[in-house]
Every structure is written in C-alpha cells, then in structure tokens.
Amino acid sequence: MKDVLKRFTVKDDFMGKYETLIQEVVIPFQEKILHDQAGVAEKSHAISNFELAAEKIETGKCDQPFYGMVFQDSDVAKWLEAAAYSLGMHPDSELEKRCDEIIDLIGRAQWEDGYLNTYFTVKAPEHRWDNLEWAHELYCAGHMMEAAVAFYEMTGKKKLMEIMSRMGEHMYERFIVNEAPGYPGHPEVELGLLRLADATGNERFKALAEHFINVRGVDLEFYNWEHKNADWFPFGGTRPNSNMAYSQAHLPVREQTDAVGHSVRAVYLYTAMADMALKNKDEALKKACENLWESITQRRMYVTGSIGSAYEGEAFTEDYHLPNDTAYAETCAGIGLIFFARRMVELSAKSTYADVMEKALYNTVLPGMQLDGTRFFYVNPLEVIPGVSGKAKTHKHALPERPNWFACACCPPNVARLLPSIGRYALGIVEDTVYSHLFIGGELKLEEGMGGKVIVTSELPYDNKVSYHFEPTDAEMVMTLAVRMPYWSEKTGIRLNGKDISPKISEGYAYISGPFSKEDVIDVTFDMSVKKVYANQQLFADNGRLAVQRGPLVYCAEGRDNDDDVLSLVIEKDAIFNESFVHELGGVVRLTVDGLRRSSDTSLYSFDQPESEKVKISLVPYYTWGNRGLNQMRVWLPYV
C-alpha cells in the first residue's frame, strides 16, 4: 500500500483547521520552546544542546552543561519531521530556512565517525553505547532518521539524510560488522532505519533494522551483561534491574502474543515488525503482529483507542484492566497505535485496522492537544475529578488540565508530526486500487496509468457524507476505489451518480471499480445515529456503565455543561439523544439526553435510595474536554 503523503493535499473543513493550526500555531510555538523563547514553565534547551555539542566538536570543550533528558534530541527530530510535513503542505521559505539552519547545526554536532547525540557528546562521552537499555541513543537516531527522510521527501533536500546515513553507517559498522551485542531498550530506530533504507536504497540500513528486530528477546542476558559491563544509568541513582517485558525483550518477537510493557515501546516495535513482515513477506512475523493486535484491541485498549493502563512503567497491565481515572493512555502510545494500524492494514486490507486508526486519531491524538494548539496532554484519562486527578498519589499523572510543555516532552511534537502527515493514514494505493481509510477531504494526485486526481469531499466527523470525484488526465481513470465501511455506521449507502449501487464488500471495504470519468461521483452516506457503547462484562471498571459515540467520536460529560457534577448522572438505556450543532469548542455537535441526577445527603454511606431527579445530560466530544477550565469529566456513565 503505497504512501500517498506527497500526493495528497488536505482540503477538509474539520481536519483542515488542524492542519492550519499545526502550521500557524503549533510548529512556531514548539519551535520557540525548543529555542527556550516561549516562556513556558518547562525549559527545553534542546537546540542549545546541539550548539554545545557543535562547540565541543569544534573546540574540544564547552563551558555550559547539557540540560534535559537523555532523549532530548528527539524533540528536535520530531519537530523537524513535523516542520517537514508542514512545508510539504504549505511551502514557507522562512520556516524552511530556519530548518536548514537547525540541520546545519545538527551536522556540526556530528562526530567525524558519524556518531550523533548531544547527551553523549556534551555530558557523557565516556558512556557512548554503554547502555542500550536505557540511554536512548538508538531511539534518538531513529527519530532523526525519520525527520531526515521526511525533510528529503517534502523539500528534496538531502543534507539531514546524509547526516543520518553517516550515523546509520556508524551503527552498521558497530552492530553488524563488528558484531557488538544488543538491541535498543526503546524501539524506534528500526522504524527510522527502514524508512532511511527506502529513501536511500541503502540495504545495510534495512539489514540493521532486521538485525535489531531479530535479536530482540533472543539473548535474554544481554541487559544483565550490559549492566555488569557498565553499571551506569542516565536517569541518576543506580541502574535498576532489567525488566525484559517492560521493553518487549522477554521473548523473541515472533513468539510474543500479549501486548506487554511500556506501551509506546510496544507499538513502535510492533510497527517495525509489521513493516518488516510486509517487506520480507515474513509470515511468522505477520502472525505475531496479528496476535499482538488482537491482544491490544480485544483486551487492552480503551474505548478511545488509547492504550496503557498504568502509570507504573507507562504500561500495559493485564487483560480487561482499563481503569478510567488512573488510565495512562499516553498520547504517544495512541500515535504509535496508529502507526501500527497503518502497517497492519497494508499487511491485510481489513477495515478493523483502519477503524482503530480512526478511533485513536479522533479520541486520543486530538484530545492530546488544547483546541488552541498551545497545551498538551501526555495522559488521557477517561474520568477526571478535580481534587483527586493530578493530586492523589495514585493520580499525579492524570492531570485535569493540559500543561504547555513537559520535562519529558515526547507527546507534543509527536502530535505535531502526526497531524500534518495525516494523508499517509487517510489513503493508500495498492496497484490500481485507491483505499479510502479515513474520511478526510482533499485531493489525491495519481500517476501510473491511473493518471488524474481523486477528489474527496468529506463532511465528517459531524455530517454523514463523503463524496469522491475524479479528474482524469485523459478521458477516464482506470482504477478501483475501496471505501472503508466503518464499524460505527450500521447502514452505509453508496451511490454512483445518484443511483444506489451494491459493490462487493470484502473485509469491511466496498470495492467500486471504474473506469471513472470527470462526470462520475460516488457518494457514501453513513448512519451517524448516536450509539451507546457497552464494554465487555470482564472489563470491570465499566460494568453497569455505558459510553456514547456518534460517528467516530466518543463523547463525554463535563461539569461545565452539567451543573458542575457529572458523578451523580445516570443515563437511561433507551433514551433518545438530541443533537445540535453549536459553535463553541470550535464547532461541535452537542448531545443532550434525558437522564437522572441522583442526590444524596452529605453522609458517606446511606441506606436510603438516592433521590432521582430528571435532568438533561449534556455531552460534548471527548476531544474537546478540558478546554473550558478545571472541571469534572466522565466518559462512562452509569445507566439504568
């Protein structure tokens, strides 16, 4: 399934606003943060670290200390990748010039032997490669490789790719030629290497990625050996004992069946595994990916498409353990799940993969950012109680409001790089078939015999129609359009030129074959009726509760709309929802529904049945929560 990012221009009422926000607010705002010019609470120092590294390489010393996490470089990498996609959408010579300057700086921070990492250059040169488990050297390299490829693809400029190719060769020399043992604690470099191999045609990068995937979890003693070899820990204090499952190194990857450990590490690894399964037609690896996908999506995923049930280890826990108020549900993990889903739908064109991609996009990635683009969630709880959330020992991570930035700032630039590359997830091409996974309007330019444009017009996520027009270069376009039939639409209508058609539906995609001419229009109309969502009975946090969804959007009750108290609300299982479009929150369909408010006196427990008063419960899309000040929020409401 070919990547269409370069060929797709977003023209969409809903997602287009996000593209503009990313371009006009998020990228400039994050650029200021990386330069320590934004005046936010958390210092970044990420650009300064590169300056210090360059100074050290050029003069042999630097007077200032490194600042930040061992993986601070990755913030610059992810921002550069985001900026690259933004440049791909909207050329901006000023931004491009500033990117070039940063890339020049990165080049100056690279050692003669190709090694690049500011932490190890400025702060701990003696520990280079000493700690693959914790030190994130390969992780940072992977992100910079992704940025390099993105910058090349979007601008045609090769400099960063050349820098990262030198780093790739340095790593190849170490791990393949010289057979240094080990694999990264935090998977990511595999993704970067595979993209770099594709972009450069250098097979050594692919071989190195495969090597890291294949040796993972095979030598179970590697981390212990490393620990004994160099008892050094970049986060201060003593190096903790290894927890192999935390970094998915407990078993050879082809034998893994349960999604375990740090959830971002997990989905980055699974993405690379799926990528490699695809490239090598590796059936065993594909089967492992399918098992891990099932483990996540059938037993360990929130209704919002978020993953990671525990702050402890930022990790998956056990089947059906999905607490709402203490959820980890990291924004990055939702993004990683989208990466994984994108590779899976390429391995097998089944709508279930794209369904999850859509779920995580609207209900984990979007809520990860304030509507104004300047605040971000790392953790996306499904229930928030001011006074407890962000405050109780068990809820310190579950902040009730988005901060501007984080000491560990992985999520904000991850959102910034995902949204402007959304075309890559919205559509895909296999031979003469154009897959429409996500319903985002825009123009897709085609070549290779299908010459012309497919023009997608989408009213989603609030209205129910998606239309496909065609602009053939010649008289007509010989192609098939495969449209996802989303799980949330019970009855989806498909019309060709105003006439109902019943195309073949396979694995959740409707295959409508052309040729198509300039006059042809395919209209797809979805059932957007409000759905009540019920969790599996074994999902013990949600017994007796239901969630509400309309189209791809999960809804929530916020205190602001419900007399500052959502905890006493009860929904009636047969109640009918009222829908109204309102302009607040950037324009949303607000839902109201008859329900009850239970009231009790001040006592903690009572034998008296609570009084029930009829009320209108007001719900807003979950992605908009927390945009109107501190207040309660709940996704799963008790029902009667």
| Residues in touch with a second copy (CB under 8 A) | 297-299, 301, 303, 309-310, 312-313, 315, 317-321, 323, 325-326, 383, 385, 387-388, 391-395, 488, 490, 531-540, 543-545, 547, 549, 565, 567-568, 570, 573, 598-600, 602-610, 638-640
C-alpha–C-alpha distance, residues 51 and 155, integer Å: 24
Q: Which two tokens stand for residue 198?
A: 């594709």
Count of residues making up the chain: 640
Rounded to the nearest whole angstrom, what is the least distance from the CB of residue 301 to a second copy in the complex?
7
Q: Residue 542 has what DSSP assignment?
A: G
Q: Of 215 and 567, which has the nearer Cβ to a second copy?
A: 567
Rounded to the nearest whole angstrom, what is the least distance from the CB of residue 595 to a second copy in the complex?
12
| CB-CB neighbours of 590 under 10 Å | 18
Q: Residue 623 has what DSSP assignment?
A: G
Rounded to the nearest whole angstrom, what is the least distance from the CB of residue 536 to a second copy in the complex?
5
Q: Of 348 and 599, which has the nearer Cβ to a second copy?
A: 599
Rounded to the nearest whole angstrom, what is the least distance from the CB of residue 322 to a second copy in the complex?
9
C-alpha–C-alpha distance, residues 78 and 65, integer Å: 23
Q: Of 45 and 397, which has the nearer Cβ to a second copy?
A: 397
SS3 478: coil
Q: Of 17 and 573, which has the nearer Cβ to a second copy?
A: 573
**CB contact at 8 A, 585 and 371:** yes
Rounded to the nearest whole angstrom, what is the least distance from the CB of residue 143 to a second copy in the complex?
27
Q: Residue 348 has what DSSP assignment?
A: S
C-alpha–C-alpha distance, residues 354 and 334, integer Å: 13
Peptide bond into 638 cis (omega under 30): no
Contacts with 237 (C-beta within 8 Å, 6 or more apart), sequence order:
none
Q: Of 488 and 625, which has the nearer Cβ to a second copy?
A: 488
Q: Which two tokens stand for residue 298?
A: 């059938």
Q: Of 272 and 596, which has the nearer Cβ to a second copy?
A: 596
Rounded to the nearest whole angstrom, what is the least distance from the CB of residue 396 to a second copy in the complex?
9
Q: Of 204 and 531, which has the nearer Cβ to a second copy?
A: 531
Rounded to the nearest whole angstrom, what is the least distance from the CB of residue 38 to a second copy in the complex?
30
3-state secondary structure 301-333: ECCCCCECCECHHHECCCCCCCCCCCCCCEHHH
Q: Of 429 and 553, which has the nearer Cβ to a second copy?
A: 553
Rounded to the nearest whole angstrom, what is the least distance from the CB of residue 553 to a second copy in the complex?
14
Work out whether strand 480-484 and strand 433-436 pair parallel, antiparallel, or are unpaired: parallel
| CB-CB neighbours of 604 under 10 Å | 6
Rounded to the nearest whole angstrom, what is the least distance from the CB of residue 489 to a second copy in the complex?
11
C-alpha–C-alpha distance, residues 145 and 74, integer Å: 10
C-alpha–C-alpha distance, residues 293 and 289, integer Å: 6
Q: How many CA atoms lie within 13 A of 454 on its CB side?
A: 34
Element (H, E) at 413: helix 411-418
**CB contact at 8 A, 335 and 414:** yes
C-alpha–C-alpha distance, residues 19 and 9, integer Å: 10
The owner of tokens 């300047």 is 374
Q: Of 32 and 321, which has the nearer Cβ to a second copy?
A: 321
**CB contact at 8 A, 496 and 474:** no
Rounded to whole angstroms, the maximal C-alpha distance in the chain is: 78
Contacts with 211 (C-beta within 8 Å, 6 or more apart), sequence order:
175, 176
C-alpha–C-alpha distance, residues 176 and 194, integer Å: 16
Rounded to the nearest whole angstrom, what is the least distance from the CB of residue 613 to a second copy in the complex?
12
Which among 26, 127, 149 has a CA at the least distance from the CA of 77? Answer: 149
Q: Of 307 and 456, which has the nearer Cβ to a second copy?
A: 307
Rounded to the nearest whole angstrom, what is the least distance from the CB of residue 403 to a second copy in the complex?
20
C-alpha–C-alpha distance, residues 183 and 85, integer Å: 30
Q: Which residues are catalytic?
A: 314, 410
Q: Of 49 and 309, which has the nearer Cβ to a second copy?
A: 309
Work out whether strand 493-496 and strand 633-634 pair parallel, antiparallel, or are unpaired: unpaired
As a whole number of Å, the end-to-end CA separation of the chain is 46
Cα–Cα separations (whole angstroms), residue 174 to 53, 114, 171, 183, 460: 22, 11, 5, 12, 49
C-alpha–C-alpha distance, residues 577 and 562, integer Å: 16
